[in-house]
Structure 1
Amino acid sequence: MSVSDPASTRMELPTEALELRSTVTSDGRLVLTLESITVPLPQAHEVVVAVEATPLNPSDLGLLLGPADLSTMTVAGTAERPRVIAAIPESAMPSLSARIDRSMKVGNEGAGTVVAAGSAVSHLLGLKVGMFGGAMYTQLRTLPAADCVPLPEGASMADGASMFVNPLTALAMVETMHAEGHRALVHTAAASNLGQMLNRICLSDGVPLVNIVRSESQAQLLRSAGASHVVDNSAADFAETLEDAIGATGATIAFDAIGGGRLANAILHAMERSLSRAAAFSRYGSTTHKQVYIYGSLDRGPTVLDRTYGMAWGIGGFLLTPFLQKIGPEGEARLRSRVASELKTTFASHYTATVSFRELLDPVRLSAIARRATGEKYLIDPSLP
């Protein structure tokens, strides 16, 4: 069934669509379902987009899967509407209190074709656009036109699907480095899609970058892409080579995608040792501030700090949305413009596979995606059968 509203939509529009939802139940279960939703008609400054590509970013997986134990997954429902259920450890439930028994929409960004447009933005009808605004794991998404960017000529839906979270985060790292008075930076899990983008940005902008990876094959990947300083944290001489790379670049700010464990601690130590080489001894350590921002949770364990790197250091969280709020609409528009102009070069993304909703809800596939392996990224196409 479809409806037509000539004043706003200008074309036939389905009244229903499928949307992927994630629910944490009060009895300690994660439930993933495909729900039928009523598609809102667009207001004057809104559009309806048929979603054709939306990525599974780590932040999306955090909301989609939470801390569920995926080894307990079972599938119920029907072949057309599978229902995935997994147990959540009792110890994790208190941190989820705000979302218990709430059906959560998922998906930060995506791309698709505008199939309906409000009267003030009717010129967008039929255009391919990238979108940022949440709830993208759906077949049809109604949202403000201001949250869409027309794709440049020659760009595919896969290109446009990831033109916000990773590109803007990578640019935000460099902007933060400059704003806080640092001259070089360190990045972990650096062989990821985001890490490869950051490497290309730094090469283009002349910013010294220390890339920390987890294997020699990842190191070779970045070196082949022009990276000058790549350190393998699985190597026996990791601490020494990290200190040398930080000394060569003068890096005093780091962005850490790992989160748990001792990697942030190791980075602060390497910065302090490098700074202390040319400074007189002080029991309070160097006077140069060293900063680590944690922006990911590839390791969900505790962040371990021994605090033996002087007193001039800081560690905190880093998220894209607060950064964009800080720089304001003009600053965000400047960054978006650069992403659009370099979408197929600097900000190109690569995907391991494209899956349908039903393929995503297959336990074997979902387990593979949930590993969040560096360099692996999956794309959902809600239009697939």
Structure 2
Amino acid sequence: MSRAVRFHEYGDASVLRIENIDVPAPAADEVQIAVKAIGLNRAETMFRSGRYLQEAVFPSQLGYEAAGLVKTLGANVQGFAPGDAVSVIPTLDMARWPTYGEIINIPAKYVVRHPAKLTFEQAAASWMQYVTAWGALVAQAQLRGGDFVIVSAASSSVGIAAIQIARSVGATVIATTRTRAKAQPLLDAGAHHVIATSEEDLAARVREITQGKGARVVFDPIGGPAIAQLAACMAFGGILLEYGALSTEEGTFPQFALLGQCLTFKGYLYIEVTSNDALLERAKAFINAGLESGALTPLISHTFRFDAIQDATRFLESNEQVGKIVVTLD
């Protein structure tokens, strides 16, 4: 028997229960892991509340990220051994391969030996954010030195990861946040400039920072009216990658900016990387190298004990954090 988080109906954090379950032996291509830390993601709160791309079958488990020690291996798995310290790249199905539990089974292709310098908490806080940001900025936008990139809602874990990845390739980062309250933490995290969108004219500040050129790359999880606002900030031939829909409002489509500036707007999901073996290997190599060198350093906002999973989830949904929320297990 192993403790795991399950929910039996959609709802707020109060529907999450810690229950004892039987964990099967790993399948032929799976690694069984004794979990030491779990990274929380907004996708999991959306899944729990019925607002995600995937529907739950009750009772359902959940979770995309974790780190721990290899417990045992499936029959066909090579390259790992019991006792190895590993972390989990988000799979394609959190209900089938959940991470909110003491013992989990994960397909070997989504298990990584992370740099030994990382704590389990840091390792559990790495892969969703860095894979998401790498896939958009490096693989798709081909961000490079000399580029200006706007990272909106930048205090999220993915936003912090995007700041670090952009800096690692030599780009100039313009981070946005709603108020000045998070400006200094974002500067401390590596942003070159921070714009408080409720207090400043976004387009005017971007023109000032870029000396009228605009930003070639925009990385946005908000959508809605923000798309038109960001389009007004972009350089000729720029690309906007939309990886979320935090806004519940419909926005005006900026057709004149799109045409006049020859812009590209693209919806983007991390599964574009994790479902492509070649891209996933490139992402692993880039991210592990950055974690080893220190160019990529997971920023942990707060840690909670496993028994406080409801409180940890509520804190995630409060939007008070700058960086990642992690849950730890003995």
TM-score (norm 1): 0.72
C-alpha change, 1:310 and 1:349, in structure 2 (3 Å) is: closer
**Are the counterparts in 1 of residues 239 and 264 from structure 2 also a CA contact under 8 Å?**
yes
Give the CA deviation at 1:35. 3.5
Taking the aligned partners of 1:233 and 1:348, their CA distance within structure 2 comes to 26
Taking the aligned partners of 2:86 and 2:191, their CA distance within structure 1 comes to 32
Taking the aligned partners of 2:298 and 2:273, their CA distance within structure 1 comes to 22
Residue 355 of structure 1 aligns to a residue whose secondary structure is strand
**Are the counterparts in 2 of residues 191 and 219 from structure 1 also a CA contact under 8 Å?**
no
Report the residue type matching 1:317 in the other structure.
G
Q: What is the aligned counterpart of 1:347 among 272, 296, 307?
A: 296
Give the CA deviation at 1:101. 5.5
Taking the aligned partners of 2:186 and 2:313, their CA distance within structure 1 comes to 28
C-alpha change, 1:310 and 1:124, in structure 2 (3 Å) is: closer
Q: What is the aligned counterpart of 1:372 among 303, 319, 326?
A: 319
Structure 1 stretch 137-146 or stretch 232-241: which is displaced more?
232-241
C-alpha change, 1:105 and 1:170, in structure 2 (3 Å) is: same
* CA deviations over 1:197-249 (Å, ceiling 9, x no partner): 32222222122332222232433333345533332212233331023335556
Q: What is the aligned counterpart of 1:128 among 65, 85, 88?
A: 85
Gaps spanning 5+ residues in structure 2: where?
Answer: none
Percent identity (aligned)? 23
Taking the aligned partners of 1:375 and 1:32, their CA distance within structure 2 comes to 24
Taking the aligned partners of 1:52 and 1:309, their CA distance within structure 2 comes to 48
Residue 252 of structure 1 aligns to a residue whose secondary structure is strand
Partner of 1:21: 6
Give the CA deviation at 1:305. 3.5
Give the CA deviation at 1:17. 1.4
Residue 99 of structure 2 aligns to a residue whose secondary structure is coil
Q: What is the aligned counterpart of 1:57 among 41, 66, 82?
A: 41
**Are the counterparts in 2 of residues 54 and 109 from structure 1 also a CA contact under 8 Å?**
yes
Are 1:162 and 2:125 counterparts?
yes
Are 1:237 and 2:187 counterparts?
no
**Are the counterparts in 1 of residues 155 and 182 from structure 2 also a CA contact under 8 Å?**
yes
Residue 20 of structure 1 aligns to a residue whose secondary structure is strand
**Are the counterparts in 1 of residues 32 and 70 from structure 2 also a CA contact under 8 Å?**
yes
Structure 1 stretch 27-36 or stretch 245-254: which is displaced more?
27-36
**Are the counterparts in 2 of residues 210 and 246 from structure 1 also a CA contact under 8 Å?**
no
Gaps spanning 5+ residues in structure 1: where?
Answer: 1-15, 68-94, 276-287
Are 1:104 and 2:60 counterparts?
yes
Give the CA deviation at 1:45. 4.0
Q: What is the aligned counterpart of 1:333 among 253, 278, 281?
A: 281
Taking the aligned partners of 2:79 and 2:281, their CA distance within structure 1 comes to 22
**Superposition misfits of 4+ residues, deviation over 4 angstroms:** 27-30, 246-250
Are 1:117 and 2:73 counterparts?
yes
Are 1:206 and 2:206 counterparts?
no
**Are the counterparts in 2 of residues 209 and 251 from structure 1 also a CA contact under 8 Å?**
no
Partner of 1:296: 244
Q: What is the aligned counterpart of 1:220 among 172, 176, 184?
A: 184
* CA deviations over 1:247-273 (Å, ceiling 9, x no partner): 55642331112234x2221111232xx
Are 1:34 and 2:5 counterparts?
no
C-alpha change, 1:204 and 1:47, in structure 2 (3 Å) is: closer
Taking the aligned partners of 1:342 and 1:152, their CA distance within structure 2 comes to 10
Taking the aligned partners of 2:308 and 2:190, their CA distance within structure 1 comes to 36
Residue 291 of structure 2 aligns to a residue whose secondary structure is coil
**Are the counterparts in 2 of residues 23 and 30 from structure 1 also a CA contact under 8 Å?**
no
Report the residue type matching 2:203 in the other structure.
A
Report the residue type matching 2:270 in the other structure.
L
CA RMSD, Structure 1 to Structure 2 (Å): 3.2
* CA deviations over 1:62-82 (Å, ceiling 9, x no partner): 213345xxxxxxxxxxxxxxx
C-alpha change, 1:18 and 1:263, in structure 2 (3 Å) is: same
Structure 1 stretch 134-143 or stretch 202-211: which is displaced more?
202-211
